[in-house]
């Protein structure tokens, strides 16, 4: 799994991705120069594809704009669905660029003068009670909305426009990397951050779950070149440490709800607008939008063509308006269907928790968005392939998303809780002097499921006090070093174990103080 690949090797891949960006940027610049030189030599050829009722003209266009939008971008959702959030986070080129100030040791630090006059310096962090920490889902969605709308208006076919966007992202990542510690850019600003979470859900199909790892360095956790933790705790319930824990702990947040119900509208609205703009779907399926080199000059032209009638609303207003309306509608529809499902379960006498209702709604939202995206994205390229290859690709995409949906639907917060404590209990039970083969009728502890391991907690009161203390101390230590004690869910798991093992609050505090003392001593060394 990618989480276990050394940081040195991943760093090579990351910087390879950066060089890939640099290559694309160079080719975009080359396309821009070529188009400019050939501007006076254009031979107009009439196409059978209609735009607002008239045949469009085939003109030279930017090849690398087309490659970027119709080949590279379509690879992202399926990659996230298969390999998960952690894979992208480890190889992301912007992540590499963001870390340059830290690698060069030139990050900004705030001077702090104590009452005694002692001067210290501290790197900036995002306070968990700050506006940014509470509203980053909305901020990232707004940036994403602006980027998607900007694609229609400015840089879908314009290589210079796309170069400007590349440059803006790079400069923004560098600035955030300079000003703040940790992955502040990734967690709170980057428009791809919530998209990664959206398509991964609790995990990608092939992604290793953090709580199944035998290492303290999990998933896409920050690490040094020699694979030691470099975490600065910049995010509570960090998705880079444990994506599923982050999912369940934040699932009821209003910002996450808005994104999960609104993102389908963003995707649908993008493609629907081109239909309403051109007056036909052929314009979309033949990939004409990425060939429209006059998109900037048409900003004030009529932006809608409905029922063979030109609607004289400028494109610069019509495009964001249509997409915003779709986002609003999918939010209303998503929340209405969720409430309807909730009422049906109540009437049937089998209500679910809020997290379970939302999880079901989110899964359906991801499934619909994924498949709607692939109806359109890259379709002009797929249609140029032999028909059997097109069918194989389409079938594979539907199969992947269906398997992901079934797998994800089965997950519950309780399941995650049982699995999380189960690994800790399994390791501690194996070290216990109790003859578990006899207790388990010749079955090995290794063979037990997480549910069976969790069920053993019922017999814990019969274990000697010393054994209970040992098991609890090791479970507490594991939770402490993984950062679980900083989260509500982690505290609930430990509190549940404390009750089952009859550990007093005084014992708990003594064990915890020992851990804190040992941790401070280790850091001082």
Residues 21-42 as b or e (16 or more Cβ within 10 Å = b): beebbebbeebbeebeeeeeee
| Exposed / middle / buried, residue 320 (Cβ in 10 Å: 0-12, 13-18, 19+) | buried
Distance separating alpha carbons of residues 381 and 217, to the nearest angstrom: 40
Q: Is the Cβ–Cβ distance between 125 and 180 less than 8 Å? A: yes
Q: Is the Cβ–Cβ distance between 159 and 62 less than 8 Å? A: yes
Chain position carrying tokens 């070093």: 481
Distance separating alpha carbons of residues 508 and 59, to the nearest angstrom: 73
DSSP letters spanning 206-261: TPPPGGG-SSSS-TT--B-TTS-B-----STT-TTT-HHHHHHHHTT-HHHHHHHH
Q: How far is CA 223 from CA 170, 234, 441, in A?
A: 22, 14, 43
Q: Which two tokens stand for residue 103?
A: 């690698």
Which stretch of DSSP H or E encloses residue 305?
strand 302-306
State residue 194's pLDDT score.
Answer: 96
Distance separating alpha carbons of residues 422 and 36, to the nearest angstrom: 64
For residue 369, give the 3-state DSSP assignment: helix
Q: Is the Cβ–Cβ distance between 244 and 203 less than 8 Å? A: yes
CA neighbours within 13 Å on the CB side: how many for 330?
25
State residue 350's pLDDT score.
Answer: 87
Per-residue pLDDT of the chain (525 residues; tens, 9 = 90+): 677 788 889 999 999 999 999 999 999 999 888 877 655 554 555 567 899 999 888 777 888 899 999 999 999 999 999 999 999 999 999 999 999 998 898 888 887 777 777 777 788 888 888 999 999 999 999 999 999 999 999 999 999 999 999 999 999 999 999 999 889 999 999 999 999 999 999 999 999 888 877 777 888 888 888 888 888 878 888 999 899 999 999 999 999 999 999 999 999 999 999 999 999 999 999 999 999 888 999 999 999 999 999 999 999 999 999 999 999 999 999 999 999 998 998 989 888 889 999 999 999 999 999 999 999 999 999 988 999 999 999 999 999 999 999 999 999 998 888 888 776 667 666 666 666 666 666 677 777 776 677 666 556 555 555 667 777 887 788 777 777 777 666 777 788 778 777 788 888 888 888 888 776 544 444
DSSP letters spanning 123-160: EB---TTSHHHHHHHHHHHHHHHHHHHHIIIIISS-HH
State residue 44's pLDDT score.
Answer: 53
Q: Which of 276, 274, 301 is nearest to 289 (CA)?
A: 274
Q: Which two tokens stand for residue 123?
A: 């790197």
Q: Which of 35, 38, 39 is nearest to 27 (CA)?
A: 35
**pTM assigned to the model:** 0.85
Q: pLDDT tens digits, residue range 425-478?
A: 676 666 666 666 666 666 777 777 766 776 665 565 555 556 677 778 877 887
State residue 525's pLDDT score.
Answer: 41
For residue 292, give the 3-state DSSP assignment: coil
State residue 524's pLDDT score.
Answer: 42
Distance separating alpha carbons of residues 493 and 420, to the nearest angstrom: 8
Q: Which of 208, 188, 187, 205 is nearest to 77 (CA)?
A: 205
For residue 309, give the 3-state DSSP assignment: strand
């Amino acid at each position: 799994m990618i989480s276990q690949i050394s940081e040195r090797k991943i760093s090579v891949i990351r910087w390879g991705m950066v060089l890939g960006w640099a290559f694309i940027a160079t080719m975009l610049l080359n396309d821009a120069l070529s188009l400019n030189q050939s501007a006076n030599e254009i031979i107009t050829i009439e196409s059978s594809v209609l735009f607002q009722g008239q045949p469009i003209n085939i003109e030279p266009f930017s090849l690398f704009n087309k490659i970027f939008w119709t080949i590279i971008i379509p690879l992202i959702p399926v990659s996230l669905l298969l390999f998960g959030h952690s894979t992208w986070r480890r190889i992301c080129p912007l992540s590499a660029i963001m870390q340059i100030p830290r690698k060069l040791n030139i990050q900004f630090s705030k001077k702090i003068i104590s009452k005694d006059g002692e001067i210290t310096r501290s790197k900036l962090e995002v306070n968990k009670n700050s506006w940014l920490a509470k509203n980053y889902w909305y901020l990232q969605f707004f940036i994403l909305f602006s980027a998607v709308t900007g694609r229609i208006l400015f840089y879908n076919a314009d290589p210079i426009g796309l170069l400007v966007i590349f440059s803006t992202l790079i400069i923004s990542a560098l600035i955030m990397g300079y000003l703040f510690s940790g992955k502040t850019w990734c967690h709170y600003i980057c428009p791809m951050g919530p998209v990664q979470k959206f398509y991964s859900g609790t995990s990608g199909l092939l992604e290793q779950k953090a709580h199944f790892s035998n290492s303290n360095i999990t998933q896409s956790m920050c690490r040094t070149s020699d694979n030691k933790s470099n975490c600065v705790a910049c995010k509570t319930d960090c998705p880079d440490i444990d994506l599923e824990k982050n999912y369940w702990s934040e699932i009821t947040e209003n910002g996450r709800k808005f994104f999960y119900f609104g993102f389908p509208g963003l995707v649908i609205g993008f493609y629907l607008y081109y239909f309403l703009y051109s007056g036909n779907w052929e314009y979309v399926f033949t990939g004409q939008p990425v060939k429209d080199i006059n998109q900037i000059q048409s900003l004030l032209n009529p932006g809608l063509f409905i029922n063979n009638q030109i609607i004289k609303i400028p494109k610069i207003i019509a495009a964001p308006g249509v997409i915003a309306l779709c986002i609003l509608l999918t939010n209303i529809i998503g929340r209405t269907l969720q409430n309807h499902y909730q009422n049906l379960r109540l009437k049937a006498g089998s209500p679910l928790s809020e997290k379970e209702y939302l999880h079901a709604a989110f899964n359906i939202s991801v499934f619909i968005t994924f498949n709607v995206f692939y109806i359109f994205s890259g379709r002009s390229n797929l249609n140029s392939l032999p028909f059997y290859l097109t069918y194989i690709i389409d079938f594979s995409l539907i199969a992947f998303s269906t398997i992901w949906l079934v797998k994800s639907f089965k997950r519950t917060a309780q399941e995650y809780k049982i699995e999380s404590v189960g690994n800790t209990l399994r390791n501690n039970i194996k070290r216990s002097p109790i003859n578990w083969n006899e207790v388990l009728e010749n079955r090995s502890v290794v063979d037990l499921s997480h549910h069976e391991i969790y069920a053993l907690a019922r017999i814990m009161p019969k274990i000697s006090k010393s054994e209970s203390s040992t098991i609890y101390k090791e479970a507490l230590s594991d939770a402490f070093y993984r950062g679980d004690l900083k989260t509500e869910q982690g505290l609930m798991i430990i509190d549940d174990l404390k009750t089952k093992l009859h550990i007093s609050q005084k014992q708990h505090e003594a064990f915890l103080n020992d851990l804190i003392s040992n941790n401070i001593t280790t850091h001082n060394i």
